[in-house]
Amino acid sequence: MSNIKLFESKQVRTEWDSKAQKWYFAIVDVIAVLTESADPGAYWRKLKERLKKDGNETVTNCHGLKMTAADGKQRLTDVADTEQLLRLIQSIPSPKAEPFKLWLARVGYERLEEIENPELAAKRMRELYKAKGYSDEWIEKRVRGIAIRDELTSEWQKRGVMPGAIWRRSQDGASPQRRISRRSRKRRSASSLRGVPGWKSNTNEIGK
The closest alpha carbon to 5, from 119, 132, 141, belongs to 132
82-89 helix and 97-116 helix, angle to the nearest 10 degrees: 170
Give tens-digit pLDDT for 139-195. Answer: 778 777 766 766 676 666 677 765 555 545 444 455 445 555 555 565 655 555 455
Q: How far apart are the C-alpha atoms of 146 and 142, rounded to whole Å?
A: 6
Give tens-digit pLDDT for 71-124. Answer: 888 999 999 998 899 999 999 999 999 999 888 888 776 665 555 556 656 676
* Res 170: pLDDT: 44
Beta bridge partners of 176: none
Give tens-digit pLDDT for 16-73. Answer: 887 888 889 999 999 999 998 999 999 999 999 999 888 888 887 888 999 988 888 8
The closest alpha carbon to 85, from 105, 109, 113, 65, belongs to 105
Other CB atoms within a 10 A radius of the CB of residue 91 amount to 14
Q: What is the pTM of this model?
A: 0.54
* Res 121: pLDDT: 65
How far from 160 is each of 152, 157, 166, CA to CA, in Å? 12, 5, 12
Give tens-digit pLDDT for 112-155. Answer: 555 555 665 667 677 767 777 778 888 778 777 766 766 676 66
